[in-house]
Structure 1
Amino acid sequence: MDMTLELLSPIQFFLRLLRHLGLSIILTVFALSVGAVGYHFTDSLNWLDSFFNASMILTGMGPVAEMHTASAKIFAMCYALFSGIYFVSVSAILVFPVAHRLLKHVTLQAMHRQKTPQNPD
């Protein structure tokens, strides 16, 4: 575990942001793929409609196509629940580097104030 007591340089911080963005993109591609494949095979939607439905569910907009089979309805329910967890998780992944840097900055300022003698003026 990295326990250094200094902030990353702006370049290192930018690279950390890019890594988190890259992970978010990979997770999004995976989540959309799961949705598209699920809709395609459970309700025989064509690939474009399957991807469209998965995209709309994943972004929280809601389903577009009506599900006709019981398996498609069950998949749609599970995918909707998964999408809620996905949204919260990816949001955390994207916010983490900024929140971590902010908290570390505040901690370093507090440590600096403790080391510096205070003026009673």
Structure 2
Amino acid sequence: MYEHRYEPLLSRPLFFRRVLNHAMLAFALILIALSIGVLGYHSLQGLSWIDSLLNASMILGGMGQIDPIYNVPAKIFASFYSLFSGIAFLGISSVAIAPVAHRFLHNLHLEDSKLHSGEK
């Protein structure tokens, strides 16, 4: 998917396309994770769609629960969704920053190989 460290840097238009593709993938993953939370809060807690969206968004964003939870199945769902959200946040962030981090490291490898080969 990415160029090897001995290959030249990707051109800017192709790099921006890669960044856009990763951003779209990250957005799709956010929508999937948010949908899981909305459906769970709506079906298990009986919240309205907008309140379910608010609670799922706050948990996924790391801010915490808004509405109190009264029944056991909803509490179990909320605890697992909170754990899932923490892991999902890390994974989605990684997907979003991967092309930029790769380009930075790839550029360092190219500069390092120029130093060892005696080029200026």
1:69 alignment partner, one of 63, 68, 71: 71
Equivalence for 2:24 = 22
Distance 1:82 1:115 in 2: 47
Q: Which has the larger radius of gyration?
A: 1
Identity of aligned residues (%): 43
CA deviation map 1:43-98 (0-9, x unaligned): 11111100110000000110001111100000000000000001111111111111
TM-score (norm 1): 0.93
TM-score (norm 2): 0.93
Aligned equivalents of 2:34, 2:89: Cα separation in 1: 12
Q: Which runs of 5+ in 2 are unaligned?
A: none
Instruction: Please give the secondary structure, in 1, of the residue aligned with 2:80.
Output: helix
Counterparts of 1:7-86 in structure 2 under 5 Å?
Answer: 7-86=9-88
Give the one of 102, 110, 120 matched to 1:108: 110
Aligned residue-pair number? 118
Match of 2:7 in 1: 5
Distance 2:111 2:7 in 1: 11
State the structure with bigger RCO (CA 8 A, min sep 6), 1 or 2. 2
SS in 2 for 1:88: helix
Gaps of 5+ in 1: none
**TM-superposed deviation, 1:42:** 0.5
Q: Distance in 1 between matches of 2:119 and 2:65?
A: 62
1:117 shift after superposition: 6.5
Distance of 1:68 and 1:44 partners within structure 2: 10
